[in-house]
Amino acid sequence: MACDGANRWLSMRLEDAMDAIIDYRGKTPIKTSSGVPLVTAKIVKNGRILPPEEFIAFSDYDSWMRRGIPKTGDIVVTTEAPLGEVAQLDGRKVALAQRLIALRGKSGVLNNTFLKYLMMSSPVQEQLQARSTGTTVLGIKQSELRMVILAFPPYPQQEAIADILGSLDDKIELNRRTNETLEAMARTVFKSWFVDFDPVHAKSKGRHPDGMDAETAKLFPSSFEDSEVGLVPTGWNVVPFSKSVNIISGGTPKTTVAEFWGGDIPWFSVVDSPNESDVFLMSTEKTITQAGVDSSATQVLPFGTTIISARGTVGKVCIAGVPTAMNQSCYGLRSRVTSKGIFTYYSTRFLVSTLQNHAHGSVFATITRNTFDGVNVVVPSQPLIQAFEDAIKPLFERIHSNQRERQLLTATRDALLPRLLSGELVVPTSRAA
C-alpha cells in the first residue's frame, strides 16, 4: 500500500481494497425461460446492465450462488468476451453467469459507486489489457485481476466524486428511459394503423376508431380486399418494398489517404450500430471529409434518412440524426412520398425479420437490392402517411432533442471522469477526511 501525503490518495492492490470478490467462472447454470435474472457478460454494456435474456429457476438460486450472493451496489466486471465492461447492481435479485466477477469495496475504504468509475477509467482498463491473455479473445484470470493497482482519494472525496458522476449518469438513464417510452408510443400507433389495421376493423364494424379525430378517421377505408399477401385495407397498394423507397448505397474512401479521414462528416458502418433504445444515429466512430465523399461512392444522407445494416450484423435500423455518410455494408432508405422519414423508419423496422429471412450469402448473411425487390409491403394513401407523420412528429422531435442532450451529458461525464479520478480536479466535501 502507498499513500500520497499531499492529497492522502491511497494506492493498493485490488484484492486488498475488497470486502468481497465473487467469481462464478467455470460453472454453467441450468437456464430457464423465467425466474431469477442471469447477468451475463453480453448484457453488461457501457456502464449499465441491459434487460436480461436468460434466467435460472428460483429453486436453484441458493444452490447455484454458493460462492457468494451479490448485493445492491456491487460492481460487476466482464473478464472475457468482452474484457473490462463495468456496471453496478441495483436492488434486483440476480444471479451471476460465467465471464463475470463481482467486486465489493472494503467498507469505509473504497466506495462502490466510486469503484465503478475507477474500473472504467483508462489507467485501470490499461492494466486489465496488460494483464490479459489470449490471442483471439482476451481474458483475465482472477489472480491477475487481484493484482491490479487502484489509486483513490479519502472516502469523503470518493463519495463526492461518485455523487457528481452518478448524478450525470442518473440524468442520462432517465433521458434514455423517457426516449424508450416515447418511441414505444410511436411504434404502437404505427402497428395499430398499418400492421393490425385497427381503424379499418373498427370502421368495418360501424364503430369510430378509438382515440382518433374525425378528419384522420376519414382517411381510413371501411372494408378489406383480397391481395397476394392476404386481406388488406381496400384501396391500399401491395408493392415490392423497393418500389416504396429510394435505395441509396454507400462506399468507403481510400483508407490510405489521410485527407479523406477525420473530417466533420460522420461515417456509419456496422460497428456504429446504435443502442437498441436509440432511434437516431448522432455520431460515429470514424468521420470523413468532403474530399472523402467526393472521392468515393459514399453520399451524405440527409437528416431523417433510415439506415439499415445489410452485411454482417444484418438488420440494425436507425435514422440519421445528423447528415451522415455510410459504407457499402449499409443502405439508406428515403420515402418516395414524404420527406420526414418517420413512416419509412417504422416500415423498415417491422420488415426486419422478413428481410433477414430473405438475406443471401453462404458466409455472411447479406441484404441486397434483390432482397428489397422480393419483399412486399402494403402502402396506404399519401394523405394517411402524412397524417401519421404529423401525429408522430412531436414525439420524434422530443426523442431527437433528448438524444442530443444525452450525448452532451455523456461527453461531460467522460471529460470529467479522468480529471476527477486522477486528482486533477479536487471536489469539496462536507466532511473532513
Domain spans in the chain, listed from the N-terminal domain onward: 2-152, 237-379
- The percent of residues in the chain predicted with pLDDT above 70, rounded, is 95
pTM of the model: 0.87
What's the pLDDT tens digit per position in 31-41?
Answer: 999 999 999 99
Tell me if 117 sits within 8 A of 167, measured CB to CB: no
Which is more confident, 8 or 205? Answer: 205
Q: What CA–CA distance (Å, rounded) separates 183 from 181? A: 5
Q: What is the mean pLDDT of the chain?
A: 92
- CA 307, 309, 315, 317 torsion: positive or negative? negative
Closest-CA residue to 313 (of 301, 329, 327): 329
Average pLDDT over residues 113-139: 94
Q: Please say if the pLDDT value at position 431 is more than 60.
A: no
CATH number for region 237-379: 3.90.220.20
pLDDT of residue 8: 83
Q: Please say if the pLDDT value at position 1 is more than 80.
A: no
Q: Which of 150-154, 198-202, 232-236, 269-273 has the lowest mean pLDDT?
A: 269-273
Q: Would 2-152 and 237-379 be classified into the same CATH topology?
A: yes
Tell me if 76 sits within 8 A of 87, measured CB to CB: yes
pLDDT confidence band for 337 (50 / 70 / 90): confident
What's the pLDDT tens digit per position in 265-280?
Answer: 999 987 776 666 689 9
pLDDT of residue 433: 41
Which is more confident, 30 or 106? Answer: 106
Average pLDDT over residues 322-326: 96
Tell me if 85 sits within 8 A of 78, measured CB to CB: yes
What's the pLDDT tens digit per position in 72-116?
Answer: 999 999 999 899 999 999 999 999 988 999 999 999 999 999 999
> Which CATH superfamily groups domain 2-152?
DNA methylase specificity domains (3.90.220.20)
Q: Please say if the pLDDT value at position 432 is more than 50.
A: no
- The percent of residues in the chain predicted with pLDDT above 90, rounded, is 81
Assigned C-alpha cell, 269: 458502418
